[in-house]
């Protein structure tokens, strides 16, 4: 068993020496995928799928690497890295290079194995997709998850329908029936429905299985013809349903070792017409057992308890089995190797007990023992009886039976008897019988050496002369013809070789070795003397056919001669095509069952018999075209009658004209190496080969020259096309330039209009702004005027109040003087009362002074707030001027940028615009300079105002200090006077000077009132001067 490690390689060979699988396990190659990191690990394969040809498969591992394996070309390639595990694969789409992969993120993607690109991305599932079923046409696909199944159109990659179910009923599997337009849906409650794909109409429902063997279905499989459904689950029972009758017709019980069935799949057979009889059953122990559903016999099994199988897929043609093992590797099995022992014929029931010398042999010495039972079964015990009987042998035949003995235990005489009785061999065993009759040696090494020489030059362009729809069939035909040409040089020049070989290639396309050996055996035996008159048709063979026809049907031959129809027209077309053009597949197989079972002359007799059996329509033909059409197309003729006529001709033809006397007996191919075939005129073939080589060289030279001329012509055409394209492009560019100039001109006009409108809007806004500024200035002046009038009124009220207070003080002083006079008059009685009144007068004066100080403080605070408001107004005005300047600067920048852009697009009037721009820039600079002057003047005025405010603040502080000094002096004076009064009260001797002190008191009081009056006038004047508005604001 060969083992291949993919490692990190993206491509390479699957096996490095030709695989030779053993019949014991049948493994062709074991494929593993391990990483080459520091700590290597094995990447497990999860899913595998074959394409429709069966020779190519794809497999995906749990890291999302998808590989393609071509078993025909022995190559593998990494086709995609999806970076996430794949849950299902499908490779049998309409476009052979595309495949579908379901990923772990519940999406389905379509990739191309050739371009390795993403074709489409389909979403819609909400859980993991575990099954992808593709329609036989490759147009539709069904993806199934546990909660839904969706039908996709692979032409548009759009979802066509969606199957929604209740949560309580899950989906087991939804898939297309093979070669049918029916969808089968299987649910977890064992219900199975059949739907029409186009209309989704429910065609039928299978009944419930019997309660005695009721199992929950988990896995399903359908035969290729779609007639039988196999279902299994967690049991060792298999249910076989007939979908045509819609009933359960068989229950198969697997061995007791099988407790659950994990996978089911039928093994296709090329000769069972889709009614597959072998079913593969993968059980829980990892062993896949293949059983015959008719005989219930175990045929073979793959896998073991140590190396169990996780999942398995069988190729469509039934040649390979791809199994993913439980250790994550991928095994590819050969079905031919696994079934080698099964396909062997049963051993002969007649055995030679003792072979005696000829001299001592008599009729009573040869004994034959017949044993009942099959050889594959264990031998019976010694007590069992063996039936024996004596057969009499006819010694006159000189051991003809020995000559008729074939390989694999068959007997030619008995086969001929069987053939004459049934008319044909059983379809199931036909290929096996043919191989035995032709005694094929199966020289693998010799055939491989011929194939390794490659495609022969004579068949490189085979598809042009014989356009075959199937590319695989064309490759097989090309490879087979090339092997024949490498075997003998004459076959490279034989024009009818493809016609002769095609029916066998189509029949044995899955086994090219058998195909080659069958054709080679046919050429050596049934094509004897065909090449003696090469390159002409075999005149000697045609003469033999004409002689036989003349003996058996002179009238027909005379009719041919009268119409100038030779044997090259009524015999050679049948021979060179081996009747494949005039017979159907079944008729052709039936004919060659008889050809291979008889002498090589049987084929020539078949040509004569075909003409004799068709004599009625042939006698009615008069034109040569009618005869040509007749021998190149199928006709209404019973092949059984023809074969019967062949046997009649073989028996009734005289020996002197019988082809059997001229043709040699059958000779099989030699074992090991193929025999040399040189039965042809070598000098003609060599001359033709030389001439063909010369013609080929001349043709190559001519083709080379023609290719050169064509290349030059292509270059000239390309240059002409490029020139025309350049001129067209220039014309388009010119038109585009004109169009863009017109658009630019219109845009410029629109921009000028917009600028004019903008200028008008700006003028209107400026006018409104000026009006608003005037209104604001007027409101401000009016407010200042109102404030000044209010201040004047307040000052007048204050003056009136002070005058009133002064009058009140004067009146109070007069009253005090009167009271003092009364006190002086009554010094003894009212002295204390007089002192109290003086004290009250002093306290009142102090309160008045306190009120005056509070009013003075209020006035100073009002002046300070007024100063702050004036400062804020100046700041706002300066900020407004600065913002206007900034807006003007931004507008100037915008204008400059626009002019620069216009400068690039219109260079023709650059000078004029440049002058205008310079003038505008000059005006802007002048305006900017004037604005700077205005701003500097405003800033200087602001600085002067701040200086004036600081001077006024200093003056205010000095006045406050003067007021504080006056208050202190006054307080000191009052305290001095109070102390003097107290001293006078304590000293009674001072009474004499009361009148003099009274006079001094009056004088001092008047002086103090005068000082208070002057101080108030000075403060009022200062307050008025501070409240006047600045000259800058007034203007």
pLDDT digits (tens, 9 = 90+) for 63-101: 889 999 998 888 999 998 888 889 999 988 888 889 999
Share of the chain above pLDDT 70, in %: 85
Phi and psi at residue 125, in whole multiples of 5°? -85, 150
Give residue 954's pLDDT: 82
Give residue 344's pLDDT: 62
Task: Show the tokens assigned to 130.
Answer: 């575990």
- What is the C-alpha separation between 424 and 439, in angstroms, rounded? 19
- What is the C-alpha separation between 607 and 825, in angstroms, rounded? 190
What pLDDT band is residue 381 in, cutting at 50, 70 and 90?
A: very low
- Within its chain, how far is the Cα of 494 from the centroid? 50
Give residue 364's pLDDT: 34
Task: Show the tokens assigned to 716.
Answer: 């000239």
| Long-range contacts (CB closer than 8 Å, 24 or more residues apart) made by 586-593 | 587/639, 588/503, 589/424, 589/430, 590/423, 590/424, 590/639, 590/640, 590/643, 591/639, 591/642, 591/643, 592/434, 593/419, 593/424, 593/425, 593/430, 593/433
Q: Running DSSP on this structure, what letter comes out for residue 42?
A: B
Share of the chain above pLDDT 90, in %: 14
Average pLDDT over residues 1020-1026: 69
Exposed, middle or buried by CB within 10 Å (0-12, 13-18, 19+), for 485?
buried
Using one digit for the tens of pLDDT, what is the confidence trace for 145-180?
A: 888 899 998 888 888 888 877 666 788 899 999 878
For tokens 């001519």, the residue is 702
- Residue 38 pLDDT > 90: no
Give residue 397's pLDDT: 41
The radius of gyration computed from the CA coordinates of the chain, to the nearest angstrom, equals 62
Give residue 699's pLDDT: 82
What pLDDT band is residue 358 in, cutting at 50, 70 and 90?
A: very low
What pLDDT band is residue 688 in, cutting at 50, 70 and 90?
A: low
Give residue 377's pLDDT: 35
Give residue 314's pLDDT: 93
What pLDDT band is residue 794 in, cutting at 50, 70 and 90?
A: confident
- Residue 370 pLDDT > 60: no
- Residue 313 pLDDT > 90: yes
- Residue 746 pLDDT > 60: yes
Average pLDDT over residues 211-223: 84
Cβ burial 429-466 (10 Å sphere, 16+ → b, else e): ebbbbbbbbbbbbebeebbeebbeeebbebbeebeeee
- What is the C-alpha separation between 561 and 122, in angstroms, rounded? 71
Query: Can you give 827-884 as a three-state secondary structure string?
Result: CCCCHHHHHHHHHHHHHHHHHHHHHHHHHHHHHHHHHHHHHHHHHHHHHHHHHHHHHH
| Long-range contacts (CB closer than 8 Å, 24 or more residues apart) made by 242-246 | 243/177, 243/194, 246/204, 246/206, 246/207
Q: Please state, as a whole number, how many other Cβ atoms lie within 10 Å of the Cβ of residue 507.
A: 20
Catalogue the E-assigned strands of 135-188.
140-145, 148-153, 158-164, 171-176, 182-187
What pLDDT band is residue 680 in, cutting at 50, 70 and 90?
A: low
Using one digit for the tens of pLDDT, what is the confidence trace for 961-1002?
A: 877 787 777 778 777 777 777 776 655 444 444 455 555 666
Cα dist from 43 to 113, 559, 834, whole Å: 21, 77, 126
- What is the C-alpha separation between 716 and 695, in angstroms, rounded? 30
Catalogue the E-assigned strands of 436-516.
none
Using one digit for the tens of pLDDT, what is the confidence trace for 855-875?
A: 877 787 777 777 777 766 776
Give residue 685's pLDDT: 59
Using one digit for the tens of pLDDT, what is the confidence trace for 176-198?
A: 998 788 999 998 888 899 988 88
Tell me what the pLDDT averaged over the chain comes to.
81
Using one digit for the tens of pLDDT, what is the confidence trace for 924-947?
A: 788 778 878 887 887 888 788 788
Please name which of 502, 515, 521, 510 lies closest in space to residue 462, comparing C-alpha atoms: 502
- Residue 373 pLDDT > 80: no
Size of the chain, expressed as the number of residues it contains: 1035
Phi and psi at residue 853, in whole multiples of 5°? -65, -40
What pLDDT band is residue 375 in, cutting at 50, 70 and 90?
A: very low
187: β partners: 171
Give residue 60's pLDDT: 92
Give the highest mean pLDDT range of 37-41, 420-424, 624-628, 1030-1034: 624-628
- What is the C-alpha separation between 161 and 145, in angstroms, rounded? 14
- Residue 523 pLDDT > 70: yes
- 3-state secondary structure (DSSP) of residue 294: coil
27: β partners: 333
């Amino acid at each position: 068993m060969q083992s291949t490690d993919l490692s990190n390689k993206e491509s390479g060979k699957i096996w490095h020496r030709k695989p030779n699988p053993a019949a014991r396990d049948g493994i062709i190659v074991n494929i593993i995928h391990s990483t080459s990191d520091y700590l290597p690990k094995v990447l497990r394969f999860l899913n595998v799928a074959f394409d429709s040809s069966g020779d190519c498969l794809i497999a995906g591992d749990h890291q999302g690497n998808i590989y393609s394996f071509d078993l025909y070309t022995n190559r593998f390639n990494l086709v995609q890295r999806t970076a996430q595990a794949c849950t299902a694969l499908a490779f049998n789409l309409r476009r052979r290079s595309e495949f579908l992969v379901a990923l772990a993120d519940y999406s389905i993607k379509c990739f191309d194995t050739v371009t390795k690109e993403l074709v489409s991305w389909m979403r819609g599932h909400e859980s993991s997709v575990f099954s992808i079923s593709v329609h036989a046409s490759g147009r539709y696909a069904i993806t199934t998850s546990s909660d839904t199944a969706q039908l996709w159109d692979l032409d548009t990659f759009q979802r066509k329908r969606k199957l929604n179910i209740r949560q309580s009923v899950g989906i087991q599997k939804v898939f297309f029936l093979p070669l049918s337009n029916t969808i089968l849906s299987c649910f977890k409650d064992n219900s199975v429905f059949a739907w029409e794909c186009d209309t989704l109409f429910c065609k039928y429902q299978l009944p419930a299985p019997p309660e005695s063997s009721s199992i929950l279905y988990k896995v399903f499989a359908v035969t290729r013809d779609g007639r039988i459904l196999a279902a299994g689950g967690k049991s060792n029972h298999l249910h076989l349903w007939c979908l045509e009758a819609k009933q359960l017709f068989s229950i198969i019980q697997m061995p007791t070792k099988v407790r659950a069935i994990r996978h089911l799949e039928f093994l296709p057979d090329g000769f069972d017409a889709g009614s597959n009889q072998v079913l593969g059953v993968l059980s829980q122990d990892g062993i896949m057992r293949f059983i015959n559903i008719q005989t219930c016999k175990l045929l073979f099994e793959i896998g073991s308890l140590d190396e169990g199988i996780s999942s398995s897929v069988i190729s469509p043609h039934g040649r390979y089995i791809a199994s993913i093992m439980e250790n994550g590797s991928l095994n590819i099995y050969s079905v031919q190797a696994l079934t080698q022992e099964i396909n062997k014929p049963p051993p002969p029931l007649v055995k030679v007990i003792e072979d005696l010398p000829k001299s001592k042999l008599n009729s009573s010495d040869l004994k034959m023992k017949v044993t009942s039972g099959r050889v594959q079964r264990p031998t019976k015990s010694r007590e069992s009886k063996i039936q024996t009987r004596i057969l009499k042998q006819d010694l006159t035949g000189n051991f003809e039976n020995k000559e008729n003995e074939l390989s694999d235990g068959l007997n030619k005489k008995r086969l001929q008897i069987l053939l004459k009785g049934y008319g044909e061999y059983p379809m199931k065993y036909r290929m096996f019988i043919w191989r035995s009759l032709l005694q094929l040696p199966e020289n693998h090494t010799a055939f491989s050496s011929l194939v390794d020489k490659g495609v022969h030059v004579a068949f490189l362009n085979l598809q042009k002369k014989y356009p075959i729809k199937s590319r695989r069939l064309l490759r097989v035909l090309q490879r087979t013809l090339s092997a024949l040409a490498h075997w003998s040089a004459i076959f490279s020049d034989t024009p009818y070789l493809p016609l002769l070989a095609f029916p066998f290639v189509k029949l044995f396309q899955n086994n090219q070795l058998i195909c080659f050996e069958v054709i080679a055996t046919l050429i050596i035996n049934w094509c004897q003397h065909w090449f003696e008159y090469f390159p002409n048709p075999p005149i000697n063979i045609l003469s033999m056919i004409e002689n036989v026809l003349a003996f058996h049907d002179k009238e027909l031959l005379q009719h041919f001669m009268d119409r100038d129809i030779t044997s090259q027209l009524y015999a050679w077309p049948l021979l060179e095509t081996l009747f494949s053009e005039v017979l159907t597949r079944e008729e052709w197989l039936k004919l060659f069952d008889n050809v291979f079972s008889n002498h090589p002359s049987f084929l020539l007799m078949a040509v004569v018999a075909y003409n004799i059996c068709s004599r009625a329509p042939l006698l009615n033909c008069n034109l040569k075209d009618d005869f040509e059409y007749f021998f190149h197309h199928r006709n209404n003729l019973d092949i059984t009658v023809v074969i019967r006529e062949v046997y009649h001709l073989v028996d009734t033809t005289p020996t002197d004209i019988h082809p059997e006397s001229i043709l040699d007996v059958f000779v099989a191919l030699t074992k090991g190496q193929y025999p040399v075939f040189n039965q042809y005129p070598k000098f003609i073939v060599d001359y033709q080969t030389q001439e063909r080589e010369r013609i080929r060289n001349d043709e190559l030279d001519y083709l080379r020259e023609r290719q050169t001329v064509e290349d030059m012509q292509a270059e000239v055409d390309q240059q002409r096309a490029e020139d025309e394209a350049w001129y067209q492009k220039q014309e388009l560019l010119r038109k585009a330039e004109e169009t863009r100039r017109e658009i630019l001109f219109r845009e410029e006009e629109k921009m000028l209009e917009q600028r004019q409108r903008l200028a008008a809007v700006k003028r209107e806004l400026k006018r409104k702004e000026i009006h608003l500024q005037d209104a604001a200035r007027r409101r401000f002046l009016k407010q200042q005027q109102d404030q000044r009038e209010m201040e004047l009124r307040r000052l007048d009220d204050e003056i009136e109040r002070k005058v009133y207070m002064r009058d009140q003080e004067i009146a109070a002083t007069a009253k005090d003087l009167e009271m003092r006079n009364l006190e002086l008059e009554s010094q003894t009685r009212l002295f204390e009362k007089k002192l109290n009144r003086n004290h009250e007068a002093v306290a009142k004066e102090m309160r008045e002074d306190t009120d005056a100080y509070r009013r003075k403080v209020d006035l100073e605070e009002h002046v300070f707030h007024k100063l702050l408001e004036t400062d804020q107004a100046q700041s706002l005005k300066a900020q407004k001027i600065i913002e206007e300047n900034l807006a003007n600067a931004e507008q100037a920048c915008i204008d400059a940028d626009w002019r620069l852009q216009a400068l690039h697009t219109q260079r023709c009037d650059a000078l004029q615009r440049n002058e205008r721009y310079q003038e505008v820039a000059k005006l802007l600079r002048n305006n900017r300079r004037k604005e700077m002057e205005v701003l500097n003047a405003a800033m200087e005025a602001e600085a002067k105002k701040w200086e004036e405010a600081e001077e006024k603040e200093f003056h205010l502080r000095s006045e406050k200090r003067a007021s504080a000094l006056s208050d202190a002096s006054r307080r000191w004076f009052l305290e001095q006077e109070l102390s003097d009064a107290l001293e006078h009260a304590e000293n009674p001797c001072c009474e004499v000077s009361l009148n003099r002190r009274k006079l001094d008191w009056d004088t001092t009081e008047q002086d103090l009132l005068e000082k208070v009056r002057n101080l108030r006038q000075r403060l009022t004047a200062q307050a008025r001067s501070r409240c006047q508005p600045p000259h800058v604001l007034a203007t």
